[in-house]
Amino acid sequence: EAAAGSDCKVSKIYGVAGMIRLLAGSYVLVITSRKDAGSYGASTVYHANSMKFLCCNEAIKHLTSEEKRDEAYFMSLLRIAETTCGLYYSYDRDLTLNLQRASKLAAGRVHKPLWKQADPRFVWNRNLLEELIETKLDEFITPLIQGSFQTEQFTLKDRLVRITLFSRRCNRRLGTRMWRRGANLEGATANFVETEQLVEYEGLTSSFIQVRGSIPLLWEQIVDLSYKPRPSIIEHEEMTKVVERHFHDLSQRYGDTMVIDLTDKAVQQRQMTVCPTFFLLQQGDEGNLSNAFAAEMQNFPDIRYVHFDFHHICGGGNFDNLQVLYDEIEEAIQKQGYFLMNSKGEILLDQSGVVRSNCIDCLDRTNVTQSFLARKSLDSQLQRMGALSSAESISQSDIINDKFKKLWVEHGDELSLEYAGSYALKGDLVRYGRQTLPGLIKDGMSALSRYYLNNFHDGVRQDALDLISGYYTVSKSSSSPFQIIGFESAPKVSSCGVGNHSWWDHCHNFHS
């Protein structure tokens, strides 16, 4: 609202999410609206509904016409970044650490500023916070976590049970579906997400962790207007080292790792159920990538690698066939276990390892599979807590089972919107255990949406993410109106999609 007797406009904000410097100076990112998403422990978790970059000075008036044009383009990237979905935060609790990790740290850490407590991998705005950190504005800093946060509750034996599903997206290889694939040389993978399923019952709290991430090889998929561009493996002498770095990091953080690869093996072509004359899936190409992954995993005998051809075994939407996979890995899953603590904070059980699932996108097949494993773990947790007998399962209650499925459907949709820009496919398999006609239609619309976004929008969205992530900074130079400084091996000059005008084209003086 406008202040009395002044042209100044006063607006309410709910947090400061960072700063970035462009040609005209600094812009501050603020949270302009929020909603209560639930609670994590005793702390309220908020969803950032909207954000805005605000100019901190009027230096743009003194820019040349060319600099103003350049500034306008970079501002257009910031406007895209403002629309980022799936961002969560808390004012008084670090949300980046899962319950098991947090419980092992010194109690005194909670007295530090939130950004000092946080795992930097899961702070979406980590790069944007640097200037605020340097100027010691700790009380203004709001770490944001991108992912998914949902809660449901129900009663068992007249006692309340609460389930929280919390996913944290890693920022080390942040990006959109076709523009961030595979791993970088440090072993960080695209679409890496840690998912924690928390259960609270009668003073007991349990946590079950799973992770997903792109196949940790050096590979890419160049957008070319086809529905499914052919994945291409990048030949590099460091390939095995990249895989080693990835799994070393996982073992350091989670313990023993078991890999579930859900990609297709068969070399064949299938047509999609929806619009078969338009969409043709190259299953053989996917199989080549899967075979290369399996070959690399032979170099690591201590890591169990399980291939499960989801499309072949669960063909026709038969979700129950995932029991075949579970029968194969049940002993290992039970050995890894889950984390359990009582109301006094005493640790009763530890989770000693993690299942790492992947398909090609690590969205649809992965979400269906993770939900299946999570339901098996939930039964075990509730049995251990005394809420269920050893012979009982949540699937025996339609109300509880439907709430559980709703959690995972919404979770899958949110992660898919962040990476692919559309709702998840195969949601019917989670919700109903089978494919339905409305679900097929919805999947067809989501597939069309992905195709459009991948080809005509995601290149510029990737540029925006690269800018705020610090892969490139903007500064004036003597040779050109600005200079882009790379922090990582430069991506391809074709980082804009077909029909996009990427800033790679805009900044024609930049040489990687």
Tokens of 457: 């929008």
Tokens of 131: 């200037």
Residues in the chain: 512
Burial (CB < 10 A; 0-12, 13-18, 19+), residue 475, is exposed
- CA dihedral defined by 362, 368, 374, 375, rounded to 10 degrees? 180
- Please choose, from the candidates 509, 425, 480, 471, the residue with its C-alpha nearest in 3D space to the C-alpha of residue 81: 471
pLDDT at position 362 is: 85
- Please choose, from the candidates 368, 367, 239, 255, the residue with its C-alpha nearest in 3D space to the C-alpha of residue 302: 255
75-126: per-residue pLDDT in tens?
A: 999 999 999 999 999 999 999 999 999 998 877 788 899 999 999 999 999 9
β-strands 339-341, 204-212 pairing: antiparallel
Residues 227 and 79: their CA atoms lie apart, in Å, by 28
Tokens of 115: 């950004």
400-454: per-residue pLDDT in tens?
A: 999 999 999 999 999 988 987 655 454 555 555 555 656 566 556 655 555 445 5
Identify the segments of the chain with pLDDT beneath 70.
Answer: 1-7, 178, 223-228, 266-284, 421-459, 477-512
Count CB atoms within 10 A of the CB of residue 300: 16
**C-alpha separations of 299 from 132, 241, 260, 261, 429 in Å:** 44, 10, 16, 16, 35
Q: How far is CA 163 from the centre of its chain?
A: 20
pLDDT at position 238 is: 95
Provide the whole-model pTM. Answer: 0.85
pLDDT at position 508 is: 29
Asked if 370 contacts 195 with a C-beta cutoff of 8 angstroms, the reply is yes
The residues spanned by each domain of the chain are: 144-267+284-469
pLDDT at position 267 is: 54
